[in-house]
Amino acid sequence: MSNNKNLYPRLTSLANSLPSSVPFVAPEMTERLSGIPVIARLGANESSFGPSPKVKKIIAESTSDVFKYGDPDAFDLKKELEKHLQIPSQNIIVGEGIDGLMGILCRLMLEEGDTVVTSNGAYPTFNYQVKGVGGVLETVPYLADYEDPNALIAKAKLLNAKMIYLANPDNPMGTHHSAEVIQRMIDSVPKESLLVLDEAYIELAPDGVAPKLDVLNKNVIRLRTFSKAYGLAGARVGYAIGHVDLVKSFDKIRNHFGVNTIGQKAALAALKDQKYISQVRNSIELGRERINQIARENGLKTIASSTNFVAVDCGLDGDFTRKVLAELVGMGIFVRMAFVAPQDRCLRVSVGIPEDIEHFAKAFPRALEKARNQ
Ligand SMILES: Cc1ncc(COP(=O)(O)O)c(C=O)c1O
């Protein structure tokens, strides 16, 4: 019950207790606040290679359909996903990106005070969604720049956690575990818990990193997106794969018209154009190599990445990386950094188009020098 009778608007006591924060400050917001135009957009792990030409064509041809609400069942897209993933469409729910699906999942699963286990410094939007429904976050540390499946499971067992979150590959470090490691984790999830396996970057990881899909397992939900490899972050389309009971329960509370008409068509066309995804994977590999090279030229190391970003180890602590970040942002280079020590020694640079990476290459030595001289 709300205890804020005298306050207006009459938010719930939970909402009143939450900080007014967003998990990520957008580059547009930074631009508005600083007045400095962004010349290289390398901070949000978008794919600045964009969607395939075929997808762009479909988007252009679909503009006159924008008056229509999107199909609430995303029927055609789910049928294509069914083919692509070789699982029944009843085990797939389409939503407004992984972030949107996470929000619904938290509302479905968590009551105030329920425990959720994640890694300290892992993807923060999940934490934001958990806290938004009053869940209690418990964390385990990274193990040498990797999320630690064994520690997550042990903590979940200890605390009788309702959910366990792991991203494979991980953001912000870009590291991945093999399918065997993740399968072992899946096999050891306590039966009272749900493993939320975030596979936002799975199309960019080496082949074989995703364990086999098992839609009969009630203890796992897998989240995927068209925002990364498919280059459709602004279209807001993602999907979850899980047991039919869990997938069906999304219908109870989801925003049925949340996934827009053009987004659905674009995602479907993107899925059909796997040749383009191979090209994107190649371009991203080259971009990762270039970022590794830039780091080396500046006497720094990088963390081996299986994603469309690279964590550049700035060699000192989080305070130093924050200074480097501020200098880069001041030069119009939008990048981000890891959130928590000791990973916050790393700057996170998305693999953008070569032109943007070259802007970074130019600015980085100056930013490092300025930060060192502060
Ligand atoms: C691990 C992870 N999960 C989810 C997302 C967001 O995905 P979507 O755009 O589908 O909401 C991101 C985006 O950076 C991410 O890094």
Domain parsing of the chain, residue ranges: 13-49+275-372, 53-272
Q: Which three-class secondary structure state does DSSP give residue 274?
A: helix
Number of CB atoms found within 10 A of residue 340's CB: 16
Q: Give residue 112's identity as a one-letter amino acid code.
A: E
The binding-site residues of ligand 1, defined as CB within 6 angstroms of any ligand atom, are: 45, 97-99, 123, 167, 171, 198, 200, 225, 227, 233, 238
Which residue's CA lies nearest to atom 15 of ligand 1?
200
Residue 200 Cα, ligand 1 centroid: separation in angstroms?
A: 6
Instruction: Tell me, in angstroms, the distance from the centre of ligand 1 to residue 22's CA.
Output: 14
Could you please state the CATH topology (level 3) that the domain comprising 53-272 is classified under.
Aspartate Aminotransferase; domain 2 (3.40.640)
Helices first, then strands: H and E counts in the chain? 13, 13
Neighbours of 35 (CB within 10 A): 7
Ligand 1 center–CA 252 separation, angstroms = 23
Nearest to 232 by CA among 224, 241, 223, 222: 224
Tell whether domain 13-49+275-372 is in CATH 3.90.1150.10.
yes
What is the torsion angle, in degrees rounded to the nearest 10, for the CA atoms of residue 121, residue 132, residue 236 and residue 325? Answer: -40
pTM of this structure: 0.96
The one-digit pLDDT tens for each residue of the chain (374 residues) are 445 556 678 999 999 999 987 778 889 988 998 899 999 999 999 999 999 999 999 999 999 999 999 999 999 999 999 999 999 999 999 999 999 999 999 999 999 999 999 999 999 999 999 999 999 999 999 999 999 999 999 999 999 999 999 999 999 999 999 999 999 999 999 999 999 999 999 999 999 999 999 999 999 999 999 999 999 999 999 999 999 999 999 999 999 999 999 999 999 999 999 999 999 999 999 999 999 999 999 999 999 999 999 999 999 999 999 999 999 999 999 999 999 999 999 999 999 999 999 999 999 999 999 999 99
- Sheet order of strands, 309-313 included: 301-302, 309-313, 346-350, 336-337
**What one-letter code names the amino acid at 241?**
I
Q: Please report, to the nearest 10 degrees, the dihedral formed by the alpha carbons of residues 182, 210, 232, 312 taken in order.
A: 60
Cα 341 vs. chain centroid, distance in angstroms?
20
In Å, how far are 212, 240, 266 from 220, measured between CA atoms?
Answer: 12, 10, 28
Which residue's alpha carbon is at the smallest distance from atom 2 of ligand 1?
200
Residue 282 alpha carbon to ligand 1 centre in Å: 21
Tell me, in angstroms, the distance from the centre of ligand 1 to residue 182's CA: 19
Q: How far apart, in whole angstroms, are the C-alpha atoms of residue 33 and residue 25?
A: 11
Residue whose CA lies nearest to ligand 1 atom number 12:
200
Residue partners of 121: CB distance under 8 A and separation at least 6: 142, 172, 338, 339, 340, 343, 344
From the CA of 227, give the closest atom in ligand 1.
Answer: 9
In 238-265, which positions are buried (b, 16+ CB within 10 angstroms) versus exposed (e)? bbbbbbeebbebbeeebeeebbbbbbbb
